[in-house]
């Protein structure tokens, strides 16, 4: 909550797209590698406080897009604003406000987990203490371990803790659940949902529709460097034509009304069929 | 600004921790240098060698030359032989003299006018005695020159100035091993840089507001501090175990070790900036350090190397580092006396730094 006070109120926010409360605006973003067009002129907004999912197959351009927003890669064309700041001209100022988990994170072999968290914290004007971060990700007993001695899931959690070390208002997570067992995956989902409760904006990439559906408020589907669809999970299911007719019997005393069903976002149409049986 | 200081401090502390925990680095720098000191110290013995055998040819026959002769004869660390030039040079060739000093005609007269020629022959076959003889003759000349500006009329050679400590193999080797240590400890920075880049550590850091200059600067300072500390350990062993005597100032020694480290680090960064893989960086590291190890004058002098190697030897920073360290440790040279070495090392540092900054990449 304290985060909200750090936002530069009204700092040259791009108003295109009509979204007054966008924390990220991307316009006409293009990036090529030789003949490959990794990102092909995409535009989108990310709203403050939402979880935004980038969904797409291998090589779709998810990582490229994310890393341009993070200031690690430089776009060939287009305009990117992060928290009102032009990512090319105010890279460091923008980077001080964001948290980043890369698709693969390797850390210094000779530093312990706690030392790593403290070191990365020192790069920012304000940092959360390593011990409270370790408590957050339930990794206290590994404080003195080296990163390479952690299990895959523990390493993912450490990478997430590193993304939170500066208490950022905007967090980028590149495939945060890849390589996790189902239980760890669920736990990480909870952690990500808690980030939103704490007022943070989360941008994540994933290969899985179910993950995007469970976590994201809005999803952009990326394919071959283009956004082929962009909507809420329910809206996407609608536009993608995944319609189903569900018939059921409403027990007497059960209070679901047809009007209530109509009010649900995912329900296109609800009808009552007369007759007792 | 405050933020930069804070990041630098944290990065410096982390770098020192990482270097301390990097066993391979400690083994391949301090470890190798210590092993060399012990092996050569015990192999070749570390007891004092015999007196320096100096042949003296007096062709001047003035009171000044006679006085010089008697003073040299009185010196305990010299065994003086006098004779004709041809006889003495022949004795030198036969290995019976370490050096021959010729007081040429007109020396006594020229001394007053500041033009007093002396001619010196060294025995080139034995590097250690050659170095000792050179040191002895140089101090004789230095003393003569000091005498001119002093009070007339005598040419005085103070006992101390000519009492050249007999230079043992281990005394000569110690500064060489110090130079070697500085090279080993710092050149490898390029391998680490490539490793960080390949593993994506640099990419992760690039996502933070940390400036590359803070990362590189802290790494440089950490390596210099580690090199000075390792050098201190090496010298402590040389002094305690082999009774090596450090003639010159510790401050000058520290400064030259730091400068040498900077020059080697800069070259390491050039390797790290150009090498695309860790294998390439390791190979480049070997290609740079091996010739220097053998031709840089660490283990044996290169004065008798074939002529075609001279340009290579004279281009290598380790040559100048070793020369400067020998000057300070063996002969008590001040910074003014080793200014050529200092300048060449500084030039290497500046050029290599410019090249590596131009070529630096995060990913
Ligand atoms: N550094 C690079 N050099 C050359 N081509 C690249 C580079 N980075 C990405 N590409 C290419 O750009 C395209 C998009 O890659 P990107 O990594 O953004 O995809 P992605 O959606 O993150 O895929 P994945 O799900 O496998 O992580 C791919 O065709 C890839 O080969
Ligand atoms: Mg990716």
* pLDDT tens profile A20-32: 589 999 999 999 9
- Residue among A58, A61, A76, A103 to mutate when testing ligand 1 (max atoms within 8 A of CB): A61
The answer for residues whose C-beta is within 8 angstroms of residue A32's C-beta and 6 or more apart is A38, A76
* A50 in Cβ contact with A217 (< 8 Å): yes
Q: Classify the complex by whether its ipTM is higher than 0.90, answering yes or no.
A: no
- Chain A environment of B206 (Cβ under 8 Å): 71-72
Q: Same domain, yes or no, for A173 and A257?
A: no
Atom of ligand 1 nearest to the CA of A60: 21
- Chain A environment of B17 (Cβ under 8 Å): 110-111, 115
Taking the CA of residue A120 and the nearest CA in chain B, the distance in Å comes to 8
How far is A40 from A26, CA to CA, in rounded Å? 12
- What is the whole-number distance in angstroms between the Cα of residue A225 and the centre of ligand 1? 9
Q: Tell which wins on pLDDT, A6 or A58.
A: A58
B207:A72 CB<8 A: yes
A119:B10 CB<8 A: yes
* A238 in Cβ contact with A269 (< 8 Å): no
Q: Same domain, yes or no, for A155 and A218?
A: yes
Bridge-based pairing state of the strands A218-223 and A201-206: unpaired
Q: Same domain, yes or no, for A28 and A6?
A: no
Taking the CA of residue A222 and the nearest CA in chain B, the distance in Å comes to 23
Q: Same domain, yes or no, for A197 and A277?
A: no
Taking the CA of residue B178 and the nearest CA in chain A, the distance in Å comes to 26
Give residue B228's pLDDT: 96
pLDDT of B262 higher than 70 = yes
What is the SS3 assignment for B332?
A: coil
pLDDT of A176 higher than 50 = yes
H-helix or E-strand spanning residue A45: strand A36-47
Closest ligand to residue A62's CA: 1
What is the SS3 assignment for A244?
A: coil
Give residue A3's pLDDT: 39
Q: How many A-B residue pairs are in contact by the CB < 8 A criterion?
A: 63
Which one-letter DSSP state was computed for residue A204?
E
> Which domains, from first to last, does chain B contain?
2-43+168-359 (no CATH), 52-162 (3.40.1710.10)
Q: What is the CA angle A238-A242-A243, rounded to 5?
A: 80
How far is B118 from B98, CA to CA, in rounded Å? 17
Q: Same domain, yes or no, for A9 and A137?
A: no
Give the residue-averaged pLDDT of B213-237.
Answer: 94
Domain that holds residue A156: 22-239
Q: How many other C-beta atoms are found inside a 10 Å radius of the C-beta of residue B153?
A: 8
B204:A122 CB<8 A: no
**Average per-residue pLDDT for chain B:** 84
Q: Tell which wins on pLDDT, B356 or B157.
A: B356
Q: Same domain, yes or no, for A146 and A254?
A: no
Q: Tell which wins on pLDDT, B97 or B138.
A: B97
- What is the whole-number distance in angstroms between the Cα of residue A99 and the centre of ligand 1? 21
Q: Is the peptide bond before A4 cis (omega within 30 degrees of 0)?
A: no
- What is the whole-number distance in angstroms between the Cα of residue A33 and the centre of ligand 2? 15
- Chain A environment of B3 (Cβ under 8 Å): 125
pLDDT of A16 higher than 50 = no
Q: Same domain, yes or no, for A52 and A174?
A: yes
The tokens for A176 are 């945060």
Instruction: Answer whether A58 contacts ligand 1 (Cβ < 6 A).
Output: yes
CB of B18 less than 8 A from some CB of A = yes
Terminal-to-terminal C-alpha distance of chain A = 53
* B134 in Cβ contact with B122 (< 8 Å): yes
Q: Same domain, yes or no, for A143 and A102?
A: yes
Q: Atom 1 (ligand 1): residue with closest C-alpha?
A: A33
A106:B200 CB<8 A: yes
CATH number of the domain encompassing residue A45: 3.40.50.300
Count the residues in chain B. 363
Report the chain A residue with the minimal C-alpha distance to residue B12: A119
The answer for residues whose C-beta is within 8 angstroms of residue A101's C-beta and 6 or more apart is A159, A160, A162, A163, A171, A172, A173, A174, A176
pLDDT of B279 higher than 50 = yes
- What is the whole-number distance in angstroms between the Cα of residue A82 and the centre of ligand 2? 20
Report the chain A residue with the minimal C-alpha distance to residue B2: A125
The answer for residues whose C-beta is within 8 angstroms of residue B338's C-beta and 6 or more apart is B256, B323, B324, B327, B328
- What is the whole-number distance in angstroms between the Cα of residue B113 and the centre of ligand 1? 80
Instruction: Answer whether A62 contacts ligand 1 (Cβ < 6 A).
Output: yes
Q: Same domain, yes or no, for A10 and A30?
A: no
Q: Is A74 exposed, middle or buried (0-12, 13-18, 19+ CB in 10 A)?
A: exposed
Look at residues B256, B257, B251, B252 and name the one whose alpha carbon lies nearest to residue B228: B257
Of B3, B17, B204, the CB nearest to A110: B17
Give residue B46's pLDDT: 53
pLDDT of A74 higher than 80 = yes
Q: From the CA atom positions of chain A, what is the Rg in Å?
A: 21
Q: Same domain, yes or no, for A38 and A139?
A: yes
The answer for residues whose C-beta is within 8 angstroms of residue A165's C-beta and 6 or more apart is A99, A117, A120, A121, A124, A127, A128, A133
Report the chain B residue with the minimal C-alpha distance to residue A100: B207
How far is A99 from A169, CA to CA, in rounded Å? 8
Give residue B97's pLDDT: 81
Q: Same domain, yes or no, for A210 and A179?
A: yes
Half-sphere exposure (CA, 13 Å, Cβ side) for B108? 15
pLDDT of A276 higher than 70 = no
- Chain B environment of A95 (Cβ under 8 Å): 207-209
Give residue B70's pLDDT: 82
Taking the CA of residue B273 and the nearest CA in chain A, the distance in Å comes to 18
CB of A107 less than 8 A from some CB of B = yes
Q: How many other C-beta atoms are found inside a 10 Å radius of the C-beta of residue B41?
A: 21
Look at residues B53, B168, B70, B66 and name the one whose alpha carbon lies nearest to residue B122: B53
pLDDT tens digits, residue range B293-342?
989 999 888 877 788 888 899 999 999 999 999 999 988 888 888 999 99
Total of domains in chain A: 2
CB of A115 less than 8 A from some CB of B = yes
How far is B95 from B97, CA to CA, in rounded Å? 6
Alpha helices in chain B (DSSP H): 2-21, 23-26, 32-43, 63-73, 85-93, 107-113, 127-149, 159-162, 169-187, 189-199, 201-206, 212-242, 250-274, 278-295, 310-315, 317-331, 339-359
Of A95, A102, A115, the CB nearest to B209: A95
Q: Same domain, yes or no, for A5 and A40?
A: no
Of A93, A102, A119, the CB nearest to B203: A102
Strand order in the sheet with A36-47: A36-47, A22-33, A77-82, A85-86
**Is residue A14 very low, low, confident or very high in pLDDT (cuts 50, 70, 90)?**
very low
B10:A122 CB<8 A: yes
């Amino acid at each position: 909550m304290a985060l909200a006070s750090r936002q530069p109120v009204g700092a040259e926010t791009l108003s295109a797209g009509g979204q007054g409360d966008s924390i990220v605006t991307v316009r006409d973003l293009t990036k090529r590698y030789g003949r490959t067009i990794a990102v092909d002129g995409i535009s989108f907004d990310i709203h403050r406080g939402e979880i935004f999912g980038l969904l797409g197959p291998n090589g779709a351009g998810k990582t490229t897009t994310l890393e341009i927003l993070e200031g690690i890669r430089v776009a060939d064309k287009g305009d990117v604003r992060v928290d009102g700041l032009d990512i090319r001209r105010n890279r460091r100022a923008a980077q001080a406000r964001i948290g980043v988990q890369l698709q693969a994170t390797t850390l210094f072999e000779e530093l312990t987990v706690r030392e790593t968290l403290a070191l990365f914290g020192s790069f920012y004007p304000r940092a959360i203490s390593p011990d409270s971060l370790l408590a957050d990700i339930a990794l206290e007993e590994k404080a003195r371990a080296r990163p390479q001695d952690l299990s895959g899931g523990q390493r993912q959690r450490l990478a997430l803790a590193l993304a939170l070390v500066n208490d950022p208002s905007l967090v980028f997570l590149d495939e945060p659940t890849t390589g996790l067992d189902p239980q760890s995956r669920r736990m990480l989902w909870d952690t990500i949902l808690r980030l939103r409760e704490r007022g943070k904006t989360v941008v994540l990439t994933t290969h899985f529709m179910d993950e995007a559906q469970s976590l994201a408020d809005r999803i952009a589907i990326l394919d071959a460097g283009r956004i082929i669809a962009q909507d809420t999970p329910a809206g996407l299911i609608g536009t993608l034509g995944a319609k189903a007719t569900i018939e059921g019997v409403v027990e007497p005393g059960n209070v679901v009304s047809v009007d209530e069903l109509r009010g649900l976002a995912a329900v296109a149409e609800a009808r009552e069929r007369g007759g007792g049986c | 600004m405050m933020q930069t200081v804070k990041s630098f401090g944290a990065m410096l502390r982390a770098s020192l921790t990482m270097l301390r925990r990097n066993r391979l680095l400690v083994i391949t720098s301090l470890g190798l240098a210590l092993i060399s000191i012990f092996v050569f110290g015990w192999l070749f013995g570390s007891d004092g060698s015999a007196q320096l055998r100096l042949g003296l040819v007096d062709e001047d026959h003035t009171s000044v030359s006679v006085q010089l002769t008697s003073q040299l004869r009185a010196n305990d660390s010299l065994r003086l032989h006098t004779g004709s030039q041809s006889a003495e040079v022949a004795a030198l060739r036969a290995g019976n003299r370490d050096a021959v000093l010729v007081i040429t005609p007109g020396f006594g007269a020229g001394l007053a006018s500041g033009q007093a020629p002396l001619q010196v022959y060294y025995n080139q076959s034995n590097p250690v005695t050659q170095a000792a003889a050179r040191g002895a003759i140089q101090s004789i000349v230095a003393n003569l020159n000091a005498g001119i500006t002093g009070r007339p009329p005598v040419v005085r050679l103070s006992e101390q100035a000519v009492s050249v400590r007999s230079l043992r193999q281990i005394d000569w080797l110690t500064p060489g091993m110090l130079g070697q240590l500085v090279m080993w400890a710092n050149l490898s920075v390029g391998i680490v840089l490539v490793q960080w880049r390949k593993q994506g550590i640099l990419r992760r850091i690039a996502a933070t507001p940390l400036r590359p200059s803070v990362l590189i600067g802290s790494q440089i300072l950490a390596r210099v501090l580690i090199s000075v500390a390792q050098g201190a350990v090496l010298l402590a062993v040389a002094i305690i175990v082999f009774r090596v005597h450090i003639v010159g100032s510790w401050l000058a020694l520290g400064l030259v070790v730091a400068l040498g480290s900077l020059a080697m680090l800069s070259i390491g960064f050039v390797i790290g900036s150009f090498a695309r893989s860790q294998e390439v960086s390791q190979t480049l590291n070997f290609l740079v350090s091996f010739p220097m190890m053998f031709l840089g004058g660490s283990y044996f002098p290169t004065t008798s190397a074939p002529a075609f190697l001279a340009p290579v030897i004279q281009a290598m920073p380790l040559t100048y580092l070793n020369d400067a360290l020998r000057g300070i440790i063996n002969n008590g040279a001040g910074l003014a006396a080793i200014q050529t070495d200092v300048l060449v090392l500084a030039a290497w540092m500046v050029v290599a730094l410019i090249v590596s900054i131009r070529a630096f990449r995060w990913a």
